[in-house]
Structure 1
Amino acid sequence: MREHTRGCVGLLLASVGATGAVLAWAPKARINVQGGFEGLHRELSVLYVDLPLIAAAGALLPTAVWLLALRVLRRPWLALLPAVAVLALGVWGLLSWWTPYQPPEIVY
């Protein structure tokens, strides 16, 4: 495989991974951005702390696995299988483990 084609596949995999991770993360972070009832639960730190970390992990993790599998398997399309599997496991782990902070309800 030529070098520029390998770079394009890696870039495409990184962009799909970052987009997929952010799209899976967004519904859980919606309450913190919108604020819920009367804006009481607004916590915008999810935008400047969690969002960049999740996008970076979604971009770097499948790309790194693809590069390692490419060195072992020597076939780029066969190396996509473990990369896509790691991306799916990462999104599953994100959805099952990460829960945004929600302050307690205020009782008057």
Structure 2
Amino acid sequence: MKEEIKGLAGFLVAGLGSSVALLAWAPLARVSVEGGFDGRHQDLSVLYVDLPLVAAGGALVALAFWSLALRRFHRPWLAALVSVTAIALGIWGLTSWWAPYQAPEFAY
């Protein structure tokens, strides 16, 4: 029974990482989806390229740190703390590094 709870906790950590990554990524990608002034710079590739990569990356980073910390420390609460810290650092890296291309509007 204890192993099942650890597996469920790992699944929940992966879901948390994925959802938090998407929630942090969405405001940055809004400019590409809406397209700026009159929709002239709309780039929907962020939906079929970046969205799955961000969701998978958030889940995999959280799950990798969960399993490594659980294997190393044998304490689920410490593994959860390490995973949440890894998620926070990953989100910080995502929001500071990734920025969608924004073409200039008009040159007057």
TM-score between both structures, scaled by the size of structure 1 = 0.93
Match of 1:59 in 2: 59
Query: By how many angstroms is 1:96 displaced?
Result: 0.5
Q: Secondary structure at the match of 2:82?
A: helix
Match of 1:24 in 2: 24
Query: By how many angstroms is 1:104 displaced?
Result: 3.5
Distance across 1 between alignment mates of 2:85 and 2:77: 13
Distance across 2 between alignment mates of 1:105 and 1:37: 7
Query: By how many angstroms is 1:80 displaced?
Result: 1.1
User: 1:7-57: per-residue Cα shift (whole Å, max 9, x none)?
Assistant: 110110011100000000000100110111100110000000101000001
Q: Map 1:5-84; keep pairs closer than 5 Å.
A: 5-84=5-84
Unaligned 5+ runs, structure 1: none
Q: Which amino acid aligns with 1:10?
A: G
Q: Which amino acid aligns with 2:67?
A: L
**Sequence identity percentage:** 59
Q: Secondary structure at the match of 1:41?
A: coil
TM-score between both structures, scaled by the size of structure 2 = 0.93
Number of aligned residues: 108
Q: Which amino acid aligns with 2:49?
A: V
